[in-house]
Structure 1
Amino acid sequence: MPLDQIPDEKEMSFLDHLEELRWHIIRSLIAIVVIAIAAFAMKDFVIGTVILGPSRTDFWTYQKLCQLADLIGTPALCIDSLTFELVSRKLSSQFMTHVSVSFVVGLVLGFPYLFWEIWRFIKPGLRPQERKASRGATFSVSVLFMMGVLFGYFMIAPISVRFFSTYQVDPSLQNLFDLSSYINTVTLIIFGCGILFQLPVIVYFLTKAGIVSSALMKAYRKHSIIVILILGAIVTPPDPFSQILIALPLMMLYQFSIVIAKRIEKREARQNKES
């Protein structure tokens, strides 16, 4: 029986909790594996179109940049060539890449369900006030995660690929990128952006717990810029443009988190007066 269907008066032992957690994890893994198998079967679309998309000049982002370049009269903005080739240097590289990409797709698309299962396990242990405050958590986390994934895929990943494809320490050197290196970079950027976009949710719960306040966040706003730039450097390649590109939306999310913290504080102050 799911944990959230057990009557409040029935206490569970530690082993019962572990058993319940095990089934939540198993169901999550099954969902991820099912999606991964489907992604594995759709090799041409998942790898050929989605994953390798940023390595081709007909990618959506490059096309839009060229349209913008024509509109504002800045030809340098248009990315109409990518001077690199992807190579597979190991015997099993392509197969292992196919497997790992399928698993990453399963993890990304299955993340909302994974979080929902974890939330189902945690929710019964919360007090009624905490349950009410956390209503819609799964939806908010899922939406922010997918926004981060899309931002990383359409903005950070192609710009990073472009940067590395044009960077040369000497003109005599040719860029031949290993397939696994390309895949690791793109997937790290996409998944990392999805995680970083969870900032408003984290601030929401920290504010409800009394750990963070809007005044504290305002006081450390300048410090947050440094932290955001460091986080951007971790999840993006070491070029300033990519770091700034990921830093800008994170700064906006930080400011939005301050607004969230303010609203929570006003609501709690109003409730305290009424009580």
Structure 2
Amino acid sequence: MNDRPGAADAAPRPLPIPVDMSAAPHDPHDSPEDGAPETFISHLVELRERIVKAGAGVLLIFLGLVYWAPDIFNLFSRPLMQALPKNGHMIVTDVTGSFFVPMKVTLLVAFLVALPWVLYQIWRFVAPGLYAHEKRMVLPLVVSSYVLFLCGVAFAYFLVFPTVFKFMAHYNAPLGAEMSTDVDKYLSFAMTTFLAFGITFEVPVVVIVLVRFGIVSLEKLRQIRPYVVVGAFVIAAVVTPPDVMSQLLLAVPLWLLYELGLILAAIFIRKTAVPDTETEHLPVVKD
């Protein structure tokens, strides 16, 4: 037994806890928002609230447009109606087609109009978990993606539809057949075409993201240019109607947008030539 004074009061010194500093962000201001830790249930509750708010926004705009549903469908089908001969017309092969097809078109328009509100709700859900540099990139990417998607839809409506419909009507004339189109089939064709061209116009954003995060180098993207051209025609052959005109109208813009993405990525690299605090410590991977 040790009788030295103070020996009984002495406590063992706690061992230091090792801290992995590599996992911490280099910039103390570039970190997710601080706050009380949330449970999985709280995340689900917030997700449900965001989905309800996004759906309510779409529904509100839809209710505001539903009165003009026939006019919206007439505008939607105008490229086809202008290409049809004098005796050509649209037909309805389903009892409920004349009601539900305009409603579907109006709902699509309402979703496109409310898409910024939907994206805002998504942003409010994911923003607390993002770093500051990630938040700075999200807004330009989302805005540019939305604008480019609308440009793709407008390109299909104002250029692709009139060209394809006139081309098909020209080859239908020698047959002497009456050219009529079901409204439901026209809706499916238009939706597929809008989606294909809307996604196609996102190519510049995809290229910039790949280069910005170092997934693929700019030189590598330039080297695979011939494969991209071939892939553009393959994709066009799969997602467009089986006619050469539609494939060309999708494949050529896809290739040109890829070239535009390379140019914009090169400009972006020159403007961000100085490495930031997060990437300067990472090894450089060469292709």
- Alignment partner of 1:47 is 2:73: yes
- Alignment partner of 1:149 is 2:174: no
1:185: which partner in 2?
Answer: 189
- Alignment partner of 1:207 is 2:214: no
What is the TM-score when the length of structure 2 is the normalising length? 0.76
- Alignment partner of 1:165 is 2:169: yes
Q: Whose helix proportion is higher, 1 or 2? A: 1
Q: Distance in 2 between matches of 1:144 and 1:203?
A: 14
The C-alpha deviation readout for 1:184-233, integer Å capped at 9, x for no partner, is 21232123322221122222222222212211210111111122223333
- Alignment partner of 1:110 is 2:104: no
Quickly say closer, same or farther: Cα 1:159–1:196, change in 2 above 3 A. Answer: same
1:67: which partner in 2?
Answer: none
1:12: which partner in 2?
Answer: 38
Q: Distance in 1 between matches of 2:131 and 2:33?
A: 14
The answer for unaligned runs of 5 or more in structure 2 is 1-31, 281-287
Q: Secondary structure at the match of 1:271?
A: coil
Letter in 2 for 1:194: G
What is the TM-score when the length of structure 1 is the normalising length? 0.79
Letter in 2 for 1:209: F
Q: CA RMSD in A?
A: 2.7
Letter in 2 for 1:246: L
Q: Secondary structure at the match of 2:175?
A: coil
Aligned counterparts, 1:21-32, within 5 A: 21-32=47-58
The C-alpha deviation readout for 1:87-132, integer Å capped at 9, x for no partner, is 1122111111122112211222222332332233233222222222
Quickly say closer, same or farther: Cα 1:84–1:213, change in 2 above 3 A. Answer: farther
Quickly say closer, same or farther: Cα 1:270–1:227, change in 2 above 3 A. Answer: same
Q: Secondary structure at the match of 1:211?
A: coil
Quickly say closer, same or farther: Cα 1:80–1:182, change in 2 above 3 A. Answer: closer
Quickly say closer, same or farther: Cα 1:210–1:231, change in 2 above 3 A. Answer: same
1:63: which partner in 2?
Answer: none
Q: Distance in 2 between matches of 1:233 and 1:34?
A: 38
Runs of 4+ that moved beyond 6 A:
none
Deviation at 1:16, TM superposition (A): 2.0
Q: Secondary structure at the match of 2:235?
A: helix
Q: Distance in 1 between matches of 2:61 and 2:130?
A: 31
**Which of 118, 121, 129 is the matching residue for 1:125?**
129
The C-alpha deviation readout for 1:14-68, integer Å capped at 9, x for no partner, is 22222222222222222222222233211242012x11211233xxxxxxxxxxx
The answer for unaligned runs of 5 or more in structure 1 is 1-5, 58-78
- Alignment partner of 1:261 is 2:265: yes
1:248: which partner in 2?
Answer: 252
Deviation at 1:145, TM superposition (A): 1.4
Q: Distance in 2 between matches of 1:263 and 1:18?
A: 41
Q: Distance in 2 between matches of 1:236 and 1:157?
A: 12
Quickly say closer, same or farther: Cα 1:55–1:216, change in 2 above 3 A. Answer: same
**Which of 52, 56, 59 is the matching residue for 2:81?**
56
Shifted more, 143-152 versus 7-16: the winner is: 7-16
Give the structure with higher Rg (CA).
2
In the alignment, is the contact (CA less than 8 A) between 1:160 and 1:237 conserved in 2? Answer: no
Quickly say closer, same or farther: Cα 1:28–1:165, change in 2 above 3 A. Answer: farther
Quickly say closer, same or farther: Cα 1:160–1:110, change in 2 above 3 A. Answer: farther
Letter in 2 for 1:229: F
Q: Distance in 2 between matches of 1:12 and 1:19?
A: 11
The C-alpha deviation readout for 1:214-257, integer Å capped at 9, x for no partner, is 11210111111122223333443221122212222222211121
Quickly say closer, same or farther: Cα 1:83–1:183, change in 2 above 3 A. Answer: farther
Letter in 2 for 1:174: E
